[in-house]
Chain A
């Protein structure tokens, strides 16, 4: 047996499939990289929140998605938008993704940071593009009018869709909107 331990700088690892084809999935982006992809050249200020019970209730009622993590990982973008990092349950483990939201409450884009699946088509630009422009109250499910469900990675595609819906409600709550 030969083996060695490595700590691979994330910047180098991004875009390569760590572990080779057998395991599938990888850390694709770190937070800074996702920020620059969604909001090039902007600067970011951490603005994390801990949701209150009332806020959680409001978000759950509005989005019809349960809130499992009280912590909201939000960054304020220098150009006025909001950048969220969120995790949802995928096939094997959590999928970590980022959502950009503009001042009108519309999704500007999503990026997958980490997804441990062989069939990680949730990273496909066309699938992700379906979210762009969506805002709270728009059809954001996996029905006919909604986001396409991906066969082979159904769980992740459904959960990311729900996650974005929850984030849009969370965004509204944090902006002080009465839901």
Chain B
């Protein structure tokens, strides 16, 4: 018995499939997952004035505020990744994304151009304050976190196969591997080989620059900017032509790391290693595989029993 349902959430379409449960139980589990994802969206939306993110952007520069434990956990992870990546991953870039037209300007004190992730201070009791006015955006991480939370909310037995896919950020649970074809924008025509990732009990997230690239003050910019240099601005536009998929145990990790690889390319390897993740990077017409060591992960070129799923 297989149940597949979809719902528009998190600014994308979330698909959930469950195989190996009676229909009513599968539906109940999927209901719980959608409810949890909607909750994460409500907490972490940049757009909704009542979200934790909006409240922080409005108030946290003046005084510490208490937020939901889930938002706190996401910010804590973001800060860890910011430190590990030398600031390449930086959730304080909301002001830049607004300036480039990717996000609407919030009704909040103007951000200090010098503010970085170091100005975000996590205090005990789920409290957060900002050392300078800044705008955080969790768009590069909340989708993956929502998927992880949904998996928890479903609490499925180990022999039930399940895939939660939030617009390409997905997590697979259950005994079987799933095969996911990767769609590299602009590279779909006349390809001899289709790139795919097979994954069991783990997460996969992908990012591409070209689909979202736009021009700002004469420069090509993408929504994936390098927090350390505040570029993505790329005179070389590398980050607007790359495509990357990251595999990791948790979807939040995979989701966030795609942004680091988009910005840093092969230099992201030490960061991937730290989180036990691997990346598959497409640029200049070829694939590069980063941090992919175990023999179980050998790429398959050419023929094989690939028609079987």
Contacts and interface: CB of A to CB of B under 8 A. Distances in A.
Interface of A: 1-10, 12-13, 16-24, 26-27, 30-32, 73, 85, 91-94, 96, 113-114, 116, 118
B146 to A, nearest CB: 17
15 contacts: A2-B200, A3-B278, A4-B298, A5-B197, A6-B306, A7-B301, A9-B302, A10-B192, A10-B193, A10-B194, A18-B196, A19-B196, A22-B17, A23-B170, A116-B183
A129 B287 CA distance: 39
B198 A4 contact: yes
A27 B181 contact: yes
A13 B305 CA distance: 11
Contacts of B303: 9, 12
B2 A21 contact: yes
A9 B306 CA distance: 9
A24 B17 CA distance: 11
A118 B278 contact: no
A5 B289 contact: yes
B306 A12 contact: yes
A4 B296 contact: yes
Contact of A22 (B178, B185, B249): B178
A88 to B, nearest CB: 13
Interface of B: 2, 4, 6, 13, 15, 17, 163, 165, 167, 170, 177-181, 183, 185, 188-204, 247-249, 278, 280, 287, 289, 292, 296-304, 306-307, 309
Given A31-B190, A118-B15, A93 B183 contact: yes
Contacts of B13: 91-92
A26 B201 CA distance: 23
A20 to B, nearest CB: 5
A96 B183 CA distance: 12
Interface of A, secondary structure class, is mixed
Contact of A19 (B179, B200, B280, B300): B179
B178 A19 contact: yes
Contact of A20 (B179, B190, B297, B304): B179
A4 B202 contact: no
Given A20-B178, A20-B179, A21-B4, A96 B188 contact: yes
A7 B177 contact: no
B201 A1 contact: yes
Contacts of B304: 6
Nearest to B196: A6
Given A16-B307, A23-B165, A118-B15, A7 B194 contact: yes
Nearest to B306: A8
A26 B301 CA distance: 19
Given A8-B196, A22-B17, 14 more contacts: A1-B202, A2-B202, A3-B199, A4-B298, A6-B195, A7-B196, A7-B301, A10-B191, A10-B192, A22-B15, A24-B15, A27-B181, A85-B189, A118-B15
B201 A2 contact: yes
Contact of A4 (B6, B197, B249, B309): B197
B261 to A, nearest CB: 14
A70 to B, nearest CB: 15
B202 A12 contact: no
A5 B2 CA distance: 26
A162 to B, nearest CB: 20
A5 to B, nearest CB: 4
Contact of A3 (B15, B197, B287): B197
A13 B303 CA distance: 10
Contacts of A31: 189-190
A133 to B, nearest CB: 27
Contacts of B15: 22-24, 118
